[in-house]
Amino acid sequence: MPPLPEFLTFAAVGALAQLIDGALGMAYGVASAAMLLGLGLPPAVASASVHYAETFTCGASGISHLVVGNVRKRLFWSLAIPGVIGAVIGTIVVSRVPVAWMRLALTPYLLGMGLLLLLRGMRGARHHADRVPRAAPALGLVAGFADAVAGGGWSALTVTTLIARGTAPRMVIGTVHLAKAVVSAAASISFLLYVGASEGAAVFGLIVGGVVAAPFGAVLARRLPARVATLLAATAVLGLGLDHMVKAFH
């Protein structure tokens, strides 16, 4: 059992990451994985730990979004089922595909989508709460695969793409979180089979902090104006793109 200050540190990071993630639809996995990698965990173990924790934190966040009306069922199923398939495939090939390659492949997309969202937010584009893009299943498949292989990317890919196509930000964020819980559960089972048990102390701290903060993130997403959420999402995904670029060439 870790010392109390160490556990509180994990819990605090998990809470902050979940609060940002609940409001913007991304950043929990990036923040948590960065912390675990900083402690010296191998990428596969860090990714597995984050997915174990996200099964609970995204579940709590997704349910919170469902309660306050931020979820569209059609979009949920269009993302969740292909996402599970992609995540399982990703966990199988993660030991054969260098993480740097996936980060490098994702960088142009993230930067491009970030710029597109930034322009859309400044123009005050209209959003349609019930819009379900035809490409949603393909998006879920690719995002689930990338998330398992690179240790993150589900929210960055799905949230930015769906918002850029005109779906209301709060509906995107809520639906993506609920689908992410299902995808993370599938990835966790696969990681358990291929990687084994992870750092229990880190996972437990991330879960406790994330679950406590989840309802506040859902309320923040509902009250945040669509244009502000779009601009914040653009800033976040541009940051993620630059982060991927730096790590790919490090």
What was the pLDDT predicted at 123?
67
Tokens for 120, please give them. 């859309």
Q: Transcribe the chain into DSSP letters.
A: ---HHHHHHHHHHHHHHHHHHHHHS--HHHHHHHHHHHTT--HHHHHHHHHHHHHHHHHHHHHHHHHTT---HHHHHHHHHHHHHHHHHHHHHTTTS-HHHHHHHHHHHHHHHHHHHHHHHHHT---BTT---TTHHHHHHHHHHHHHHHS--HHHHHHHHHHHTTB-HHHHHHHHHHHHHHHHHHHHHHHHHHT----HHHHHHHHHHHHHHHHHHHHHHHHS-HHHHHHHHHHHHHHHHHHHHHHH--
Q: Among candidates 46, 64, 63, 16, which has minimal Cα distance to 203?
A: 46
Report whether 159 contacts 109 (CB < 8 A). Answer: no
Q: What is the dihedral of CA 60, 79, 122, 114, to 10 degrees?
A: 100
What was the pLDDT predicted at 149?
77
Between CA 61 and CA 81 the distance in angstroms is 19
Q: State how far Cα 164 lies from the chain centre.
A: 17
Tokens for 190, please give them. 């696969």
Buried b (16+ CB within 10 A) or exposed e, 194-222: ebeebbeebbbbbbbbbbbbbbbbbebbb
Between CA 20 and CA 43 the distance in angstroms is 23
Q: Transcribe 151-164 into DSSP letters.
A: S--HHHHHHHHHHH
pLDDT tens, N- to C-terminus, the chain (250 residues): 456 677 787 788 788 777 766 666 666 776 677 666 666 667 677 778 888 888 887 888 788 889 988 899 999 999 999 999 999 998 888 767 776 676 676 678 777 777 876 776 676 555 555 567 788 999 999 999 988 877 777 887 898 888 878 788 888 888 998 999 999 999 989 988 877 666 667 778 888 888 888 777 777 767 777 677 667 767 777 776 777 677 666 6
What was the pLDDT predicted at 86?
95
Beta bridge partners of 167: 128
What was the pLDDT predicted at 46?
75
pTM of the model: 0.74
Q: Among candidates 94, 87, 99, which has minimal Cα distance to 189?
A: 87
